[in-house]
Amino acid sequence: MKVVRHIAVNVFKESVRDKVLYNLVVFAVLLISTSYLLGQLTAGQDMKIIKDLGLASISIFGLLIAVFIGIGLVWKEVEKRSIYALLSKPMGRGEFILGKYCGLVLTLLINVGIMTIAYYAVLAYLGWTADPATRTSWPASPTDPAMLEAIALIIVELMLVTAIALFFSTFSSPFLSAMLTPGLWDIGHFNDDLRNLGAVTGSPAAASVARGLYYVLPNFSAFDVKAQVVHGQAVPLSYVGLTSLYGLTYLALVVLGAATIFARRDFK
Amino acid sequence: MDAIRTEALTKHYTSGFWRPRPYLALDALTLQVGQGEVFGFLGPNGAGKTTTLKLLMQLIYPTSGRAEILGKPVGDVGVKQRIGYLPEQPYFYDYLTAEELLEYFAAIFGYAPAERRARASKLLDEVGIGAERRLQLRKFSKGMLQRVGVAQALINDPEIVFLDEPMSGLDPLGRREIRHLILRLRDRGCTVFFSSHVLGDAEALCSRVAILVNGHLATAGRLSEMLAFQVRGWELVVSGLTEAALQKARALGHVTGAAPLGESRYALELPLTPPPERILAELMAQGARLVSLNPLRDTLEDFFVRHVSGDARARPSTSLGAGGPEPS
Ligand SMILES: Nc1ncnc2c1ncn2[C@@H]1O[C@H](COP(=O)(O)OP(=O)(O)O)[C@@H](O)[C@H]1O
Ligand SMILES: [Mg+2]
């Protein structure tokens, strides 16, 4: 399992030396800071919007990082043939996949961590500078720790997206993966509609297909508790726990699938 | 126990998207390589050498047949701990320096950080990568990448190294260095299995060779014992040879061919018997002077040309055995 760690660290090294990533992080931090400007303009009235915008930024930029690095991760090694020397070293192909995945998750965690710190810094500053009158109108404290629940779920969601990107990357080109991964993300967000689709059409066949898809496709909307958190509504910890468990189980299966496909591949 | 053993190892590639047709890249290769041998795996481009090496590294799976390294099926992680592999035209991570790459691979083998650094630095010295080792590999030329590739194949002091065209992309000096390196590996008791399309590489290094043509094993054994590569005459270059002396030698059957090179120089073709020393003595007695004497034998290229006739892959496989090819 040490091999997994070494591969993961190397993935992280690659992403650090990849300037694209810096651009993404800088851009995300900028966007989060923009909410500070927004806060100045509205004199802190729209704390909810600011919080919402920040969380959305973390989620979107995390998604971009997950997809952009994830889809090329394995494909690039195969395409450029750097995998030949690597796989001749003492490791199984499963360890290779797991190492790549862990490296990507590590990269993601560090990036989301940076974005979270920027987010809380901006909110803390806004809270500190706002006048007491506006402060009383806020449903929750600007640095409400409940937002960490939303961020935790965003992280699990991004880990799942990463697993899906990696899965596609083990057998298809980045171009195809770039279409498939966000495609699945979209469908996953409208998953609830799938369940209702059957009821709407009234056809039992369509209903069961839709129902099947509902259970098979990842239900990304479950991870989205931004609205509750921003409005200061409590999200039970048990919900966060169970949803994380769902996400972790799902991503474990996806990574296992990726490893299974990868294990039988010919590298030409 | 053999270092390497393959049994009827076969690989089909399917080509054509709409009407996939199998394409025989390697046809029932059966081969044994003993421990401590330097084994040359020869063949023209497209013969199936890289395919075989990739099968041995389990980068591709065989259509049928088996392959073992050190008595274990290929892909065994314990065996991988004891072998090294240089891929054909190696490519490594752009964003790492040569040093970091070797340390990364050393880490995978489980060496401690200090040991990783020591091994990386020793091997980079050995393959002649100097201060460039601190540069990212994206700045490396093809020949330098080849050297890094050789270094990474040796990072674990392997018992067997597999080198796919180790000389390619190198200048004459580099080729000589790799030759010396292979000989040093042999002296350490390391088994070396290398592919090449150049006979000279093999002649200088190998205990045994296998020659692959169009996916078939054409012959295997000691180069010196291969019929195709035995001396079948001599080329003698002399100066000061008179027309009369030449006619006389021709009449005796001591000279089977003569090409004038100008200024009374001739390139003569001599038969295997009588021995060239005797013929040379006769000619010198008549005033000729020796310029050079060389054995005449097939080159690997001649061998390939004779075997690459028609679309051999479309025909059923014909095994020529170790006795060498039929006379042509
Ligand atoms: N991925 C592939 N798909 C189809 N054909 C291939 C593939 N790789 C190699 N080949 C074919 O298999 C044959 C053997 O190739 P290779 O093993 O690379 O030869 P060598 O290394 O001896 O030059 C060649 O004719 C080559 O065109
Ligand atoms: Mg080749």
Whether the CB-CB separation of A266 and B12 falls below 8 Å is answered with no
Dihedrals phi, psi of A96, to nearest 5 degrees: -60, -50
Report residue A245 as tokens: 């468990």
d(CA B291, CA B266): 9
User: Strands across the sheet with B160-164, in order?
Assistant: B83-86, B160-164, B191-196, B38-42, B208-213, B216-221
Contact B80, A91 (CB under 8 A): yes
The closest residue, in CA terms, to atom 25 on ligand 1 is B46
Nearest-by-CA chain B residue for A1: B108
Do A146 and A235 contact (CB within 8 A), yes or no?
A: yes
Domain total for chain A? 1
Considering only the top CATH level, what class is B4-82+158-228? alpha beta
Place of tokens 């930024």: A57
A209 falls within a domain: no
Cβ within 8 Å, pair B93-A268: no
Average pLDDT over residues A90-118: 93
Residues sharing a CB contact under 8 Å with residue B211, sequence separation 6 or more, in sequence order: B42, B43, B217, B218, B219, B220, B300, B303
A124 within domain boundaries: yes
How does pLDDT run across A206-234, given as a tens digit for each residue?
A: 777 777 777 777 888 888 888 888 887 88
A86, closest residue in chain B (CA to CA): B105
Distance between CA B315 and CA B256 in Å, rounded? 38
In whole angstroms, give the CA distance from residue A112 to residue A162.
Answer: 13
What angle in degrees, to the nearest 10, is found between the helix axes of A47-79 and A19-41?
170
What is the pairing mode between strands B64-69 and B4-15? Answer: antiparallel
B105 with A89: Cβ contact below 8 A: yes
Torsion of CA B69, B71, B74, B79, to 10 degrees: -70
Question: Under DSSP, is residue B21 helix (H, G, I), strand (E, B) or coil?
Answer: strand
The amino acid present at B201, given as its one-letter code, is: D
Nearest CA to ligand 1 atom 17: B48
Distance from the Cα of A29 to chain B's closest Cα (Å) equals 25
φ, ψ dihedrals at B50, nearest 5°: -60, -40
Task: Give the pairing type, strands B191-196 and B160-164.
Answer: parallel
Query: Helices A93-129 and A2-17, interaxial angle, to 10°?
Result: 50
Q: Smallest Cα–Cα separation from B178: which of B208, B143, B207?
A: B143
- DSSP secondary structure letters along B164-226: ESTTTT--HHHHHHHHHHHHHHHHTT-EEEEEES-HHHHHHH-SEEEEEETTEEEEEE-GGG-
- Which three-class secondary structure state does DSSP give residue A262? helix
Give ranges for CATH 3.40.50.300 in chain B: 4-82+158-228
**Between A and B, how many CB-CB pairs are < 8 A?**
77
Strand partners, B136: B97
pTM score? 0.84
What residues are paired with B66 via a beta bridge? B7
d(CA A148, CA A154): 9
Chain region(s) in chain B for CATH 3.30.70.100: 231-296
Index of the ligand 1 atom closest to the CA of residue B53:
17
- Closest residue in B to A3 (Cα–Cα): B108
Domain with A253 in it: 2-189+224-264
* Contacts with A78 from chain B: Cβ below 8 Å: none
Closest ligand to residue B166's CA:
2
| Domain presence at residue A90 | yes
Asked if the model's pLDDT at residue A72 lies above 50, the reply is yes
ipTM (interface pTM): 0.85
Per-residue pLDDT tens digits of chain B, which is 328 residues long: 899 999 999 999 887 677 777 788 999 999 999 999 999 999 988 899 999 999 999 999 999 999 999 999 999 999 999 999 999 999 999 999 999 999 999 999 999 999 999 999 999 999 999 899 999 999 999 999 999 999 999 999 999 999 999 998 888 889 999 999 999 999 999 999 999 988 778 877 888 999 998 899 988 888 777 766 777 889 999 998 888 888 988 888 889 888 888 878 899 999 988 888 999 999 999 888 999 998 887 777 777 777 665 444 443 333 333 333 333 3
Alpha-carbon gap, residue B61 to A264, rounded angstroms: 8
Assigned domain for A168 exists: yes
The protein residue with its alpha carbon nearest to ligand 1, atom 11, reads B25
Tell me the C-alpha distance between A262 and A257, whole Å: 8
Q: How far apart are CA B11 and CA B24, in angstroms?
A: 6
Task: Look at residue A198 and tell me if it is in a domain.
Answer: no
Provide the CATH topology of domain B231-296. Alpha-Beta Plaits (3.30.70)
For A182-198, what is the mean pLDDT?
68
Is position A161 within any domain?
yes
Identify whether A207 is part of a domain.
no
- Kindly list the protein residues whose Cβ atom lies closer than 6 A to any atom of ligand 1: A 268; B 13, 15, 23, 25, 43, 45-51
Let me know: does B270 contact B254? Beta carbons within 8 Å: yes
- Please identify, by atom number, the ligand 1 atom nearest to the C-alpha of residue B13: 4
Among the bound ligands, name the one nearest to the CA of residue B165. Answer: 2
Two tokens, residue A21:
């990533």
Strand order through the sheet with B289-296:
B257-262, B265-270, B233-239, B289-296
- Sole residue written with tokens 């500053």: A125
